């Protein structure tokens, strides 16, 4: 099946904007999780689709733009999303697929410049100042990225091109979906000051309310308010920060960062649960899910933690550090189950449990000391066999027998 989706033809435009000095790119995948999930369901392209847990107590991971038009947003409770858009198709997340596509996209970025700062699976900053002589202007490089990502992965991205991280991120958001926007250095102040105050990095709901009480509705309003006034009203750090951004000043550099420090999964139950056997099965399922994502990301970890949320929303965590790093589902499950049993909860009613692996290291750098009595083939080999079967026949095709009872 072809992975390609419909992509509008490029729009004819006037003289291209001057991208001199605009060496910072912000690349943001368009509705990434939803777009990736639709690669296997081309019949749903152009329709409202929501990615997330099917139960009313789950949350929305992503949604297509057709669903967003009804007010559906990520992190929204699934029950509310269903009410807003009852005609939407609900698809379960496929984190292995998302990690695979994200890794490939990050490799595309790394082939252009070593200065890449990933913000999440689906967005990153790039500093292309060292690639201009080899690959052309920043706008040309941005278009190359868009074409490569679409041609190789079948999903679209939007790219902002500017002289700073702040402006580049604003630009990518304003040209979504499937767009490219260059903000010339000479036009930065005009570009920024036309926006509402909520567009500024660091302005949340409370800060926006404070600004509204001061009569500041646009970035231009902030720019033309004395910095001393902003400092008195918002505090020294926030006032100075917003005043600088209002004039397009952002001195931050693109900083290559390490991979995510932990990988995990949790589950909010449809109803509160007090059955220890049910919790054990859930911990096994979450351990399988977590380690599958770790192997897809080529990571192992030493610290296993669990999260338990009670019916009254009280939440506790417990962790245990292993001798050696692991990505083996049974080893993670054994540690998670021991942590849970050690809580002695008995008949406590639980709303959510989660499993997480921390202190991650790359799998090819992990040193594991085998025990003398280790079998020639063990759980690690079984996990990799399941990964291969899932890659060929679909996620969940092979599962522990105890999880069949849950389904």
pLDDT band for position 402 (50/70/90)?
low
For residue 15, tell me if it sits in a domain. no
Same domain, 281 and 180: no
pLDDT at residue 377, rounded to an integer? 46
Sign of CA dihedral 203, 254, 250, 164: negative
Same domain, 48 and 75: yes
| Number of neighbours of residue 50 by Cβ within 10 angstroms | 28
178 labelled ligand-binding: no
CA atoms within 13 A on the CB side of 79: 4
* Domain of residue 312, CATH code: 3.30.1490.100
**Residue 123 falls in the annotated catalytic set:** yes
Query: What integer is the mean pLDDT of 33-48?
Result: 94
165 shares a domain with 149: yes
- Percent of the chain's residues with pLDDT above 70: 84
Domain boundary among 222, 246, 270: 246
Once rounded to an integer, what is the mean pLDDT over residues 360-387?
56
> Is 122 annotated among the ligand-binding residues?
yes
- For residues 270 and 372, membership in a common domain is answered with yes
Specify the pLDDT at position 259.
Answer: 54
Q: What are phi and psi of 26, to 5 degrees?
A: -115, 115
Band (pLDDT 50/70/90 cuts) for residue 5 is: very low
Same domain, 194 and 161: no
Stronger pLDDT, 314 or 84, i.e. the higher one = 84
Q: Is the pLDDT of residue 368 over 80?
A: no
User: In the predicted model, is pLDDT for residue 345 greater than 70?
Assistant: yes
Q: What is the pLDDT of residue 405?
A: 53
Return the pLDDT at 315. 87
**Is residue 365 over pLDDT 70?**
no
pLDDT digits (tens, 9 = 90+) for 177-216: 999 999 999 999 999 999 999 888 888 888 888 899 989 9
Tell me if 16 is assigned to some domain. Answer: no
Domain C-terminal end among 42, 75, 95? 95
Q: Which of 166, 188, 210 is the endpoint of a domain?
A: 188
Q: Is residue 11 part of a domain?
A: no
Residue 130 and residue 236 in one domain: no
Q: Please tell me the distance from the alpha carbon of residue 67 to that of residue 78, in angstroms, as a whole number.
A: 12
Instruction: Check whether residue 287 and residue 194 sit in a common domain.
Output: no
Cα angle for residues 330, 334, 337 (degrees, 5° grid): 130
Of 123, 267, 282, 331, the active-site residue reads 123
Q: Is the pLDDT of residue 373 over 80?
A: no
Average pLDDT over residues 254-278: 83
Q: Is residue 281 part of a domain?
A: yes
Domain containing residue 40: CATH number: 3.40.1170.60
394 shares a domain with 384: yes
What is the pTM (predicted TM-score) of this model? Answer: 0.63
Does 182 share its domain with 203? no
Euclidean distance between CA atoms 330 and 386, whole angstroms: 13
Q: Is the pLDDT of residue 260 over 50?
A: yes
Q: Is there a single domain that holds both residue 301 and residue 399?
A: yes
Same domain, 178 and 195: no
pLDDT digits (tens, 9 = 90+) for 92-136: 998 888 888 988 898 899 889 989 999 888 999 999 999 999 999
Checking if the pLDDT of 10 tops 50, the result is no
Give the mean pLDDT of 79-98: 91
Q: Is the confidence at residue 142, as pLDDT, over 80? A: yes
pLDDT class of 372 with cuts at 50, 70, 90: very low
Instruction: Answer positive or negative: Cα dihedral of 208, 209, 210, 213.
Output: positive
Mean of pLDDT values over 9-30: 80
**Residue 301 belongs to some domain of the structure:** yes
Domain that holds residue 225: 189-246
Tell whether the model's pLDDT for residue 33 goes beyond 90. Answer: yes
Task: Say if residues 222 and 243 touch (Cβ distance below 8 Å).
Answer: yes
pLDDT for 123: 93
Q: What is the pLDDT of residue 13?
A: 52
What's residue 204's pLDDT? 82
Q: Decide if 17 is inside a domain.
A: no
What is the pLDDT, as a whole number, of residue 3?
35
Determine if the peptide bond prior to 177 is cis (ω within 30°).
yes
Residue 13 lies in a domain: no
Same domain, 175 and 53: no
Q: Average of pLDDT values for 75-101? A: 90
In the chain, how many domains are there?
A: 4
| Backbone angle region of 344, left / alpha / beta, with phi > 0 → left and psi within -120 to 50 → alpha | left
Mean pLDDT of the chain: 85
Q: What DSSP line would sit under 274-315, residue for residue?
A: --HHHHHHHHHHHHHHHHHHHHHTTEEEEEEEEEEEETTS-E
Closest-CA residue to 397 (of 292, 304, 308): 292
Give the confidence band of 9 by pLDDT, cuts at 50, 70, 90.
very low
CATH classification at residue 117: 3.30.70.270
Residue 380 and residue 294 in contact, taking contact as beta carbons nearer than 8 Å: no
Does residue 211 fall inside a structural domain? yes
């Amino acid at each position: 099946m072809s992975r390609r989706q419909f992509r509008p033809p490029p729009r004819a435009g006037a003289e291209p904007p001057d991208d001199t000095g605009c060496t910072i790119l912000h690349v943001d995948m368009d509705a990434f999780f939803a777009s990736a999930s639709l690669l296997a369901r081309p019949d749903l392209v152009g329709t409202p689709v929501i990615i997330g847990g099917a139960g009313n107590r789950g949350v929305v991971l992503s949604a297509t733009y057709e669903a967003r038009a009804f007010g559906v947003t990520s992190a929204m409770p699934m029950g509310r999303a269903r009410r807003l858009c009852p005609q939407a198709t609900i698809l379960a997340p496929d984190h292995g697929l998302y990690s695979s596509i994200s890794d490939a996209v990050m490799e595309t970025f790394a082939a252009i410049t070593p200065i890449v700062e990933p913000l999440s699976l689906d967005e990153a900053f790039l500093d292309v100042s060292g690639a201009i002589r080899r690959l052309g202007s920043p706008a040309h490089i941005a278009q190359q990225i868009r074409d490569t990502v679409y041609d190789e992965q079948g999903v679209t991205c939007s790219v902002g091109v500017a002289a700073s991280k702040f402006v580049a991120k604003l630009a990518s958001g304003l040209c979504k979906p499937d767009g490219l926007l260059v903000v010339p250095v000479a036009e930065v102040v005009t570009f920024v000051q036309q926006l509402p105050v909520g567009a500024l990095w660091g302005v949340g709901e409370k800060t926006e309310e404070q600004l509204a009480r001061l009569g500041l509705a646009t970035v231009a309003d902030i720019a033309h308010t004395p910095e001393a006034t902003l400092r008195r009203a918002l505090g020294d750090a926030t006032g100075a920060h917003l005043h600088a951004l209002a004039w397009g000043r952002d001195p931050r550099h693109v900083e290559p960062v390490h991979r995510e420090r932990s990988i995990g999964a949790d589950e909010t139950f449809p109803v509160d649960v007090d059955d220890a056997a049910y919790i054990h099965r859930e911990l096994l399922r979450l351990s399988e899910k977590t380690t599958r994502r770790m192997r897809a990301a080529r990571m192992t970890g030493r610290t296993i933690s669990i999260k338990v949320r009670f019916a009254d929303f009280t939440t506790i965590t417990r962790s245990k550090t292993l001798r050696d790093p692991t990505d083996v589902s049974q080893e993670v499950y054994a540690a998670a189950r021991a942590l849970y049993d050690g809580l002695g909860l008995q008949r406590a009613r639980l709303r959510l449990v989660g499993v997480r692996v921390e202190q991650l290291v790359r799998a090819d750098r992990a040193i594991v000391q085998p025990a003398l009595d280790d079998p020639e083939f063990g759980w690690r080999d079984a996990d990799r066999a399941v990964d291969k079967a899932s890659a060929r026949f679909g996620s969940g095709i092979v599962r522990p027998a105890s999880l069949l009872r849950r389904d």
